Amino acid sequence: MFPSLINHLKKFNFIQNEPLSKHSTFRVGGVAKYFYDTENIDDVPELIAWAKSKPVPYFILGGGSNVLFKDSGFDGLVVKISADKISLDPKGVLAEAGAKMAEVARFACANDFSGLEEFSSIPGTIGGAVYGNAGCFSKDIGSALLRAWILRDDKIVSVKNDYFDFKYRWSKLKNTHEVVLKVLLKTSAGSCDKSRMDEILKLRKEKQPWGLSAGSFFKNPGSTPETSAGYLIEKCGLKGEKVGGAQISSKHANFIINMGSATSEDILDLADCAKKAVKKQFDIELEPEVRIIG
């Protein structure tokens, strides 16, 4: 299987037993059996071909801001995409999958393009953002995406926005597991609204806690403040609740914080506690926004 690619892969030096806690904003997790950090998106098809030939499972990692690795680790290949080139295109901004959302927004602003201001406070990468249709302040990446280059059936293909069937914090990639390599985002001519960017960053600092977390742990089950995950968890009296080294933030109840000594099991137990409490009190089933891997 993939004989030419396998021969070519001899140039790759895989790291074995790499601690995944180093690559997650939660700073928890076991080791990856094989690990490779690439700054070249052309490497990705070959790395996946190698994993399929073994065969071993593989996982594509971006900035690690929306993922929880289990303490048991990952018995396969983790490919971290660090390719982060950003450039201008006649239709908008081109960005490789490893580019930070905030950096893409600032790049557009610096080149006098508007339309991406809301993304200036999102910590994750553009590839992960498309995979999960990330967003904030009533705007998600699906509303800005014109085109993406993805790895599908071992080939790099270009697809338009409607291919992803975007929904709230969801794209069809969650079913197909295809890999985003590069995207084209639409921008508007005219000056960037720098005051809007400043306002968004200020609101983010005011409303969301700092610390070791993966951002919002659960998806919001409704579209009103009273049906947000944070509101529901808070109404269950769980702000500040702890399990081991993990704590539900006393500032925003949809954030679980690693206080410095948490394990992934602590975090999962605390999330389960919140999920059960909301189900019991409100008969609402919370669904994780964070990807749980292991």
β-pairing, 135-136 with 74-81?
unpaired
Q: How far apart are CA 102 and CA 274, in angstroms?
A: 30
Total Cβ atoms within 10 A of residue 80:
22
**171 is known as an active-site residue:** no
- Give the span between the Cα atoms of 217 and 224, in whole angstroms: 18
> Which residues, in sequence order, are CB contacts of 13 under 8 Å at separation 6+?
none
| Lateral strand order in the sheet of 242-243 | 242-243, 246-248, 256-258
Q: Is 169 a catalytic residue?
A: yes
Reduced to 3 states (helix: H, G, I; strand: E, B; else coil), residue 195 is helix
**For this structure, is 287 an active site residue?**
no
* Pick from 16, 15, 12: nearest CA to 43: 12
Region class of 206: left (phi > 0), else alpha (psi between -120 and 50), else beta: alpha
Catalytic option among 120, 147, 169, 178 = 169
> Catalytic one among 18, 46, 118, 289?
289
Annotated active-site residue in 21, 24, 213, 216: 216
Report CA torsion sign: 10, 128, 90, 102.
Answer: negative
Q: Which residues are catalytic?
A: 169, 216, 289
